[in-house]
Amino acid sequence: MVNEFLKIMEVPQVEKILRSLFNDIHSIQKVEYVDLENSHHRVLAEDIYATLDLPPFDRASKDGYAVLAADTFGASEENPKVLNLLEVIEAGQKPQKRIKPGFCSTINTGAPLPEGASAVVMVEYTEIEGDKVYIHRPAPQDQFITKQGNDIKKGELLLSKGTFISSDKMGVLSAIGLDKIPVWEKIKVAIISTGKELVNSGENLEYGQIFDVNSYSLQSAVLSCGAQPWWLGVVPDNYEGLSGAIKNALEECNIVLTSGSTSAGTGDVLKQVIGDMGEVLVHGISVKPGKPTLIGKIGKKIVVGLPGYPVAALMIFQIFLAQYIRQMGYMESNIPVKTEKYTLEGRFYSSRGRLHYALVKIINGKAHPILKDSGAITALAEAHGYIKIPKNVEIITEGSEVEVTLFDRI
């Protein structure tokens, strides 16, 4: 008896199921503490509050002289005010002397303000002779002084839970002296290739065999989404091999990706394996390429059976899974996918009845369809993006304006 697909699902139904599944994974994500230098491109798992005032002291924002503002009133080029120099205060150095009427101290940008000072005069508006400083311009109260806590005060919210730690956020964390940063544990994604015909790169290729492509392309795709891939190698597409590999993967990972063993052929057993271990939610999507995609859950974890053809496997990953994996890593998932409109070069025939994601390359400002099937691995190498063709459209005529989703984002 020939196996059959479960009810073929439309894209909105599949997306609804995936949202629910990934929400379940969110609920079991763990928090880990990493060194500051290892927190780059991770996601805060807790709110971070300032542990001290920033800046932690009143400081000079310009090179010049720390003065009493009142001592400079009326100063001009013709009638400079003359002050006595007390000391030189460099950044990182604690002032030793209080500013009293008639006195000043040299101060560098970022250096702590000495006690008694109420303004800083820029060095450009002064002259110095020995220990006498001539002030040529008056300084209003608090001029060029950054007050303690001006940026943020101790105890105030500094960064919110869920913040993506970019380089500027690392600077903020370092400013309050944190050395251990609470982040969400990096999502681990297991990758399994199935098929007796597959051979790993570097091994001898016998007649009838092909090198495993999907493992390497999917590992790269997972990394680009901010997750951690775990490759389990090539597994025989029989019940024992698949079930053992999936059990092993689920011990370490929340998401398992397999490629191959998803069609309705008698030799494909992934549906049975997932059905015995958990529940098959999707077996067949009304799209091209990628119709035989299978999605199931085991506990709160996700198993996705991608098609064996490399183009179909990677397209399904990018279109259906990448956005959710990015969101779990907060990899700038709020940035819209880049699309541009182009004129179609040549006529294109679509697969009526299924939503069609057709690869195109951009040449001289026009979108050229790539007329290769989903088993042609060079198709993705040539492609600059894809166009989405509704299921009720069979022909797109030459010269039509098409919207291309570009691959430089995904």
Give domain status of residue 410, yes or no. Answer: no
261-to-206, 270, 274, 332 alpha-carbon distances in Å: 21, 6, 12, 33
Q: Tens digits of per-residue pLDDT, 149-198? A: 999 999 999 999 988 888 899 999 999 999 899 998 888 999 999 877 77
What pLDDT shows up at residue 382? 87
CA torsion, points 296, 299, 253, 32, in degrees to nearest 10? Answer: 140
368 and 299 in a common domain: no
Q: Tens digits of per-residue pLDDT, 208-217? A: 777 788 888 8
Q: Looking at 53-57, 207-211, 274-278, which range is the least confident one?
A: 207-211
**pLDDT for residue 202 is more than 80:** no
Looking only at the bridges linking them, the beta strands covering 198-199 and 401-406 are unpaired
Which among 301, 331, 297 is positioned nearest to 184, based on CA atoms? Answer: 331
Give domain status of residue 6, yes or no. Answer: no
Q: What is the mean pLDDT of residues 341-368?
A: 91
Query: 346 with 369: CB under 8 angstroms?
Result: yes
Which among 356, 357, 358, 359 is positioned nearest to 392, based on CA atoms? Answer: 356
180 and 124 in a common domain: no
Domain CATH code at residue 154 = 3.90.105.10
- Pairwise pLDDT comparison (225 vs 372), residue with the higher score: 225
Q: Looking at 57-66, 176-185, 367-376, 392-401, which range is the least confident one?
A: 367-376
DSSP assignment of 94-110: ---S---TTEEEEE-TT
Rounded to an integer, what distance in angstroms lies between the CA atom of residue 308 and that of residue 257?
11
- What does the mean pLDDT of the chain come to? 89
125 and 174 in a common domain: no
Sorted by sequence, the CB contacts under 8 Å of residue 229 that are 6+ apart come out as: 188, 189, 190, 191, 218, 219, 222, 223
- Pairwise pLDDT comparison (204 vs 365), residue with the higher score: 365
Query: 14 with 240: CB under 8 angstroms?
Result: no
154 and 48 in a common domain: yes
Domain finish residue from 329, 363, 389? 329
Rounded to an integer, what distance in angstroms lies between the CA atom of residue 17 and that of residue 29?
19
Which among 113, 152, 119, 153 is positioned nearest to 138, based on CA atoms? Answer: 119
Domain CATH code at residue 110 = 2.170.190.11
250 and 191 in a common domain: yes
What pLDDT shows up at residue 352? 74
In sequence order, what E strands does 166-264 have?
Answer: 180-184, 188-194, 198-199, 210-211, 228-235, 255-259
Q: Tens digits of per-residue pLDDT, 133-147? A: 999 999 999 999 999
Domain finish residue from 267, 296, 329? 329
Q: How many domains does the chain have?
A: 4
Proportion of the chain above pLDDT 70, given as a percent: 92
What pLDDT shows up at residue 203? 72
233 and 362 in a common domain: no
What pLDDT shows up at residue 230? 95
Domain CATH code at residue 352 = 2.40.340.10
Give domain status of residue 101, yes or no. Answer: yes
359 and 383 in a common domain: yes
What pLDDT shows up at residue 410? 43
395 and 356 in a common domain: yes
If pLDDT is split at 50, 70 and 90, which confidence band does 205 have? confident
233 and 364 in a common domain: no
Q: Tens digits of per-residue pLDDT, 291-314? A: 999 999 999 999 999 998 888 999
DSSP bridge partners of 300: none
Give the length of the chain.
410
What pLDDT shows up at residue 262? 55
374 and 323 in a common domain: no
What pLDDT shows up at residue 330? 59
47 and 160 in a common domain: yes
Rounded to an integer, what distance in angstroms lies between the CA atom of residue 260 and that of residue 373?
16
177 and 47 in a common domain: yes
Query: 231 with 219: CB under 8 angstroms?
Result: yes
Give domain status of residue 334, yes or no. Answer: no
- Pairwise pLDDT comparison (60 vs 329), residue with the higher score: 60
Q: Burial of 4 by CB count in 10 Å (0-12 exposed, 13-18 middle, 19+ buried)? A: exposed
Q: What is the mean pLDDT of residues 71-95?
A: 96
Give the pTM. 0.72
The residue range of the domain holding 110 is 59-146
- Pairwise pLDDT comparison (125 vs 238), residue with the higher score: 125
What pLDDT shows up at residue 331? 52
Place of tokens 């007649």: 207
Q: What is the mean pLDDT of residues 204-225?
A: 84
